[in-house]
Amino acid sequence: MTSARKATCAAIAGLLLALPHSTPANADTDPEALFNALNAVFGEKQGKRAAHTHGFCVKGAFTPTDEAGKLSKAPHLAGKGPWPVVGRFSMGGGNPAAPNTQKDNTRGIALHFDLGGGNQTDMVLISAPVFAAKSPEKFLELLQTVATKDKAKIEAFFKANPESTRQKAWLTARPVPASYATTSYFGVHTFTLTNAEGQSQIIKWKLVPKGGEVGLTEDEAKAKAPDFYKPELTERLAKGSAEFELTAILGQPGDAEDDPTALWPEDRKSVTMGTLTISALEDDATCDANIFDPTNVPDGIAGPKGDAVFWIRSPVYAISFSRRNQ
């Protein structure tokens, strides 16, 4: 799939909305139904994203390792770099005031890699290695159930779909991150990397803070302002850049490729693919004018054909972009 973006994001959103809502995984769920269900849970927010609403924009660069080019011929992995990056840190969900102290909520990072010549590729990661539902149908059912605010119905959903409890269990077993710069981020979807020799390898992405993971005690979290991440990162970046190591976790035969709620074994080997350097905050308008679309990948990277959650992201994001710009 090409990473070329020779039109504006608004034009891309229009094209996506005009296309039939089918994917390689043949998802039956209407993307607009998912968008509406998100709004039913969190409320419709004029001019804002339907999901990962609370966040801010940053900028930096990515420099690949020599090992990266051995796994993929993608330009930003096989080339020397550094490649300019625009990113967005965010809290999960659609609450524009989601508190940074909330333990059972994901933190997210979305990235645009500028490949030159008007070309870009995107990456979307969260602070848990699994998604909340294994299919668009189950995600829609989850949102519609939560929207009822009926405790018995919500409990019944999770009892019938235990895979949807894994994300919350992962998050609540760990402390509240002290900063967007001190937590790891995971790709919940599987990708296939292909190198110049045609050799392929399934992987999952992981972004690890070079300074190590740092969390807050319960007392420290209680003492924090609900929106402390942005001033914390502003102060941190005034002293120097925040660096992350991008790694590719190497899958093996039998590892789930099409289920974003499935955990891979912890003993899987990984390869360091490069360094992401966050150097400064960026005007939020830069991120708001774009779609961070994980299906936008260059030659040398391919998404999971059978993962319907992955493929429905693009049209849902296009709907969200279109609505917030009306």
Over residues 35-74, the pLDDT tens digits come to 999 999 999 888 899 999 999 999 999 999 999 999 999 9
pTM of this structure: 0.92
Q: Which of 103-107, 171-175, 320-324 has the lowest mean pLDDT?
A: 320-324
Q: Is 76 a catalytic residue?
A: no
Looking at residue 16, its pLDDT comes to 39
Tell me: the pLDDT tens digits for 10-20?
433 443 333 33
Beta-carbon count within 10 A of 239 CB: 7
What residues contact residue 136 under an 8 Å CB cut-off, 6+ apart?
27, 28, 29, 34, 308, 309, 312
Q: Tell me which of 21, 52, 54, 76 is the catalytic residue.
A: 52
Q: What is the pLDDT of residues 214-229, one digit of tens each?
A: 999 999 999 999 999 9
Residue 20's pLDDT is 38
